[in-house]
Amino acid sequence: MSARGFKGRMVIFTAPSGAGKTTIVRHLLNRYKRQLGFSTSATTREKRQHEVDGKDYYFLSPDKFRQKINDGAFVEYEEVYQDQFYGTLKSEIERIWSLGKHIIFDIEVKGATNIKNMYGDKCMAVFIKPPSFNVLVDRLKNRKSESESSLNKRIARMKKELSYESSFDKVLVNDLLPVACKEAEIMIEAFLNISEEEE
């Protein structure tokens, strides 16, 4: 298949923090290397120790992010907390399609809603939910990557995000990770028409 002029499909995985979307997305990228390209988001949040600029995120200053907003460089963006922005760059979508691949997103709930509204049937949006709210809070606490005030902000946000569940095409409950990964594979294969021979 020629990559020139290729306009692939999009698969969005969204969830509150700690629901496991990043782990599931990494599993799918590893399994479908030839078919999927990861859309790297831009953010103004601090880079964590293990993260790589340009791979995990494009880390930008708030001023640089605002400049890109003014330049119309984003498909969607959101100010999640004060001066903490996340967004999807138009250049990322073009980059992945130029490789002849479909796009997989790991993004915030509001950004997922915006992309789904924009691309409609070309896009499958999957909401990953934890078995319960308490499990989600425990997972977040066990990460030990948040201060007390940051944790409280995230918990308040998670409550709100869980109410978006019905806005998406599919809901995937991440109770047992291997089961959730297998269910995600089934969804991907059906939506992208991937047969086992192509994997």
Number of Cβ within 10 Å of residue 3's Cβ equals: 12
Which of the listed CATH numbers 3.30.450.260, 3.40.30.10, 3.40.50.300, 1.20.1250.20 matches domain 10-191?
3.40.50.300
Query: Which residues are paired to 89 by β-bridges?
Result: 74
- Measuring CA to CA, which residue among 4, 19, 27, 28 is closest to residue 168? 19
What is the model's pLDDT at position 197? 47
What is the model's pLDDT at position 199? 53
What is the model's pLDDT at position 82? 87
What is the model's pLDDT at position 2? 43
Round to whole Å and give the CA distance between 178 and 153. 30
Round to whole Å and give the CA distance between 46 and 44. 7
What is the model's pLDDT at position 180? 96
* Ranges of residues in the chain whose predicted pLDDT is under 70: 1-5, 145, 196-199
Round to whole Å and give the CA distance between 16 and 25. 14
Residue 194: which residues within 8 A CB-CB, separation 6 or more? 32, 35, 188
Tell me which H or E stretch contains 97.
helix 90-98
Say if CB 80 and CB 44 are below 8 A apart: no
Q: How far apart are the first and last CA of the chain?
A: 16
Pairing of strands 10-14, 102-107: parallel
Q: 8: buried, middle or exposed (CB in 10 Å: 19+, 13-18, 0-12)?
A: buried
